[in-house]
Structure 1
Amino acid sequence: MVISPIVGAFMTGMKVPAVSEVLYTGGLSEMIILLSIAASTAIYGSYRVGSLRREAFDAKGVGMYTLRKQIGTGGMGEVYLAEHRLLKRPCAIKLIRRDKVDDENILLRFESEVQATAGLTHPNTIEIYDYGHTEEGTFYYAMEFLPGLNLQEIVERFGELPPERVVYLLRQVCSALAEAHHKGLIHRDIKPGNIFSAERGGLYDVAKLLDFGLVKDNRPEKNSLELTMEGAVVGSPLYTSPEVVTGDGEPDFRSDIYSLGATAYYLLTGKPVFEGESALKVVFAHASQAVKPLTEINPKICKELEAIILKCLEKKPEDRYQKAEELSDALKELKLKEWTQEEAAEWWSDAEQFVQHEPDPEYASEDHLKATTILPVNA
């Protein structure tokens, strides 16, 4: 940019004597000096702005964590890819949304989620590293960063899953739920988007149960806070149980069984149990309409697996499996070929371009993050 006007002046001076005279009587020197000052100012200014941007980016953090990039958002909070400043360990940070800070009900639900999840140690439940409050009052917690995809994304991108793979994933979720139920905790928001299929320790299709944001403490010895409005339907309309809709009786562990059955229905058919023009129509369909058999949508599903899923989707809680262990045992008895790690590794190799990856230790560069495919995370 500095050279161009000087060259242009020379070329003009060669054709216009008056311009040439001005250049040779001090005009050229003055122009070079002014352009050099402008160039120096521009270069230094660019450098300073870039430095300030990097400093502002690195300063954006909570507690001992530096926030790198937003990777998800939801009704209760936002999720960021982050790094522990000392351990240099990548993790996911969940923050309460700033526009929800003044909502005490949301804050209580948010804190309930982290406290409930932190008490769970099953390998198929997402691990909580840390939680706290910032000086500004923002509540946050740090959890493991999961390389992979949630089951909602998998079905949307690749279609319904083979029965043996669904059984493999469901049994892991049943194990995670069993621990939560034994501790008196009801998840109340089980859905494909809250189950993650991750790579952990060199193993693929490791199921991780996420988002205990609607968890309810059902232990009789504690006076748990009811964190939803009286009469409100909690959970996701496509996967909510009939008793939650009708209010007939208190939802319990069997409500999670229903939601897990509805999730399995979606994984096997690519369609939810009930569809409708509005959330209200869908939730009342769960309470009043008969479930369409899975084999009418996907004939590849065996009758035995169909019977198990339909039992999970019974309208009356007493007609379903009463425990997550019972459902797991029923799935174990199926005469299906097993989903192997070789098959899982091959599937994930083919799906590589869509996978949410754990960044390398040197991932602090903003450019690297822009080049990484990060899929939405249910928050």
Structure 2
Amino acid sequence: MRPRRRSPSKDVGQDLPRLPEVGLHEESNEVDLDPRTLQPVRGSLSGARELPVPPPPPRSKPPTPPRLARAPMRPPMTTPRPPPRSAAIRAETAEYSSLIGGRYQILTRIGQGGMGKVYKVKHTHLSRTFALKIISNQVAETDEARELFYREARFASAMSHPNITSVVDFGEDEKVGMFMVMELVDGEALNRILFREKQLSARKACDIVLQVAEALHYIHKQGVVHCDIKTENILISEEEHEGKRSKTVIKLLDFGLARSLNASRASTSLSGTPHYVAPERIRGEPASPASDVYGVGILLYELVTGQVPWDGPVQKILAGHLDEQPRSPSQLVEGGVDPALETLILHALAKRPSERHKDMAAFIYELKTVMDMMGFGRRTRGGPAKRVVIEQRTSSLPSAPNVRDELARIAFDACRLPLALLTPHGVIVRANPAFARFVMGAAVEVDSLPVQSTPLATAWSTSDQDLARTLAGNPVRRIIEIDVAAGESRRLLLWLDAVSLDHIVLGVQPLEL
């Protein structure tokens, strides 16, 4: 496995300018100023001649104020403004000032990045703690940085979602400059977790990406695209779930590069982290929800494999996004990757937006289907699901069971969706005409045929494993592709459910949203 990628070198910023972010948990050295060095120097200069001091006037006579001579008029002098305080002095001011914005008391520093510092603060009136980001003096002096700051503040403060860090206040303070107040999240940055664990399990990776995708789907509905999905912008925390076990909760950070979909003129400037930027953004096309779908695909690829698809110099990374196909995730993970999960990842990494999921909702739907198929979030312990059988009173009409069975047979045969009843070994016990037409192309008899011997087997290579998994109590949902014409394919949802210890229902339906 290739080593974990390092931070981009200096030439990266030249090729792809982007605003550095504040990591809430990144530590760095800080220069502490000695207050004594700021005191004025007292004493006389060496070698200077002391002038005699005139004696005070006698007590009997009050001092007479001197008469002022009328001087010729001259243009008024402009008092020079003091030079701007350096970033170190501003930071020192923040450390020891009483309040920021008249209401936030600094408790401790919790992080630092290229854009500034983050402090844990207490609201003096609400008695609640928050995270307060102070923008550094050097960054705040540029018009672009100020625009990014206020754009992030406006976008983030308008969002209300459990997976998005809430911005509750922002503004400028005469002592420290621009600041932003956010909810205080007790979590760890995802990039640190990935650095420590190298790669995540498929279950954990899918759970994290699902929450990220749901947060992005929410902001897309608000007319905003994020444009900067990466592990550094995701915080992971553990919360008690139903009082029994902890639940992983993610928080999405940093709307500094977010763009409005409703703007009158879309920006085509390239910004963001090169490892996650979508190909259309490199080509100069406007950002869209499909751009975030691509970023989420890169994120899922990285969490599962432990590495991004393309790494190295910026130009090499951008060329990979534009022209190269990523290595198959199953080639990078010992033991391989589930085919459905790999298909999902590669689908999101299509070069053109029209070839990806049409929106984030479609990505979420397929991701949930894959998680369902892999047994995530479903019953995984205790064997097959327990089925409750309600015994009905015997009907006074002896023909009632026969009528019920006949109606069930009619409904089964008339159903337009392909349905079949299989044995644990995949032998077709009963199939409706729609299933026969689907697998054989005509309404022919397919009962007693092994499903592995039908044309369906070419698109469903994991049939044996899926049948065994279904009987173990984990219903399967799998996405398959079939050829419908020359150069055209169709994506379908194949599902399996156990109705008894000896029979499994197989169904196929179009994957249309």
Give the RMSD, CA atoms, in angstroms. Answer: 2.4
Secondary structure of 2:154's counterpart equals: helix
Which residue in the other structure is 1:138 paired with? 177
Which of residues 69, 90, 96 is equivalent to 2:129? 90
Which residue in the other structure is 2:314 paired with? 279
Which runs of 5 or more residues in structure 1 are unaligned? 1-53, 341-379
Distance 1:92 1:200, change over 3 A: farther
Q: Name the CA distance, whole Å, in 1 between partners of 2:365 and 2:215.
A: 14
Shift of residue 154 of structure 1?
0.7
| Residue pair 2:123, 2:129 contacting (<8 A) in 1 also | yes
Distance 1:61 1:322, change over 3 A: farther
- The residue type paired with residue 289 of structure 1 is E
- The residue type paired with residue 291 of structure 1 is P
- The residue type paired with residue 235 of structure 1 is G
Which of residues 271, 275, 280 is equivalent to 1:238? 275
| Residue pair 2:104, 2:122 contacting (<8 A) in 1 also | yes
| Residue pair 2:227, 2:259 contacting (<8 A) in 1 also | yes
Secondary structure of 1:306's counterpart equals: helix
Alignment pair present for 1:302 and 2:345: no
Distance 1:118 1:200, change over 3 A: farther
Distance 1:61 1:308, change over 3 A: farther
Aligned residue runs from structure 1 range 320-335, under 5 A: 320-334=356-370, 335=373
The alignment-based identity, stated in percent, is: 29
| Residue pair 1:218, 1:224 contacting (<8 A) in 2 also | no
- The residue type paired with residue 213 of structure 2 is C
Shift of residue 323 of structure 1?
1.2
Q: Name the CA distance, whole Å, in 1 between partners of 2:226 and 2:265.
A: 14
Q: Name the CA distance, whole Å, in 1 between partners of 2:357 and 2:117.
A: 35
Alpha-carbon displacement from aligned partner over 1:20-75 (angstroms, at most 9, x marks no partner): xxxxxxxxxxxxxxxxxxxxxxxxxxxxxxxxxx9984526422212233333334
Shift of residue 325 of structure 1?
1.2
Q: Name the CA distance, whole Å, in 1 between partners of 2:133 and 2:296.
A: 24
Alignment pair present for 1:290 and 2:325: yes
- The residue type paired with residue 157 of structure 1 is R
Alpha-carbon displacement from aligned partner over 1:183-214 (angstroms, at most 9, x marks no partner): 11010000111111123566531111111110
TM-score of the two chains, using structure 1 as the length reference: 0.69
Shift of residue 306 of structure 1?
0.7
Moved more, 210-219 or 128-137: 128-137
Secondary structure of 2:311's counterpart equals: coil
Q: Name the CA distance, whole Å, in 2 between partners of 1:56 and 1:305.
A: 48
| Residue pair 1:160, 1:269 contacting (<8 A) in 2 also | yes
Shift of residue 135 of structure 1?
2.1
- Please identify which structure carries the higher helix content: 1
| Residue pair 2:266, 2:286 contacting (<8 A) in 1 also | no
Which residue in the other structure is 2:70 paired with? none
Shift of residue 267 of structure 1?
0.6
Secondary structure of 2:344's counterpart equals: helix
| Residue pair 1:168, 1:339 contacting (<8 A) in 2 also | no
Shift of residue 232 of structure 1?
4.3
| Residue pair 1:294, 1:301 contacting (<8 A) in 2 also | yes
| Residue pair 2:93, 2:176 contacting (<8 A) in 1 also | no
- The residue type paired with residue 195 of structure 2 is E
Shift of residue 147 of structure 1?
1.2
Q: Name the CA distance, whole Å, in 2 between partners of 1:293 and 1:208.
A: 29
| Residue pair 2:94, 2:175 contacting (<8 A) in 1 also | no
Distance 1:200 1:254, change over 3 A: same
Distance 1:55 1:263, change over 3 A: closer
| Residue pair 1:275, 1:282 contacting (<8 A) in 2 also | yes
Shift of residue 80 of structure 1?
1.9
| Residue pair 1:70, 1:81 contacting (<8 A) in 2 also | yes
Alpha-carbon displacement from aligned partner over 1:137-156 (angstroms, at most 9, x marks no partner): 72211111111212111110
Which residue in the other structure is 2:205 paired with? 166
Which residue in the other structure is 2:464 paired with? none
Shift of residue 103 of structure 1?
0.6
- The residue type paired with residue 216 of structure 2 is L
Shift of residue 180 of structure 1?
0.6
| Residue pair 2:123, 2:130 contacting (<8 A) in 1 also | yes
Number of aligned pairs?
280
Distance 1:55 1:117, change over 3 A: closer
The higher-RCO structure (CA 8 Å, 6+ apart) is: 1
Which runs of 5 or more residues in structure 2 are unaligned? 1-91, 379-513
Q: Name the CA distance, whole Å, in 2 between partners of 1:55 and 1:308.
A: 51
Distance 1:143 1:336, change over 3 A: same
Alpha-carbon displacement from aligned partner over 1:76-101 (angstroms, at most 9, x marks no partner): 33322222223332221112221122
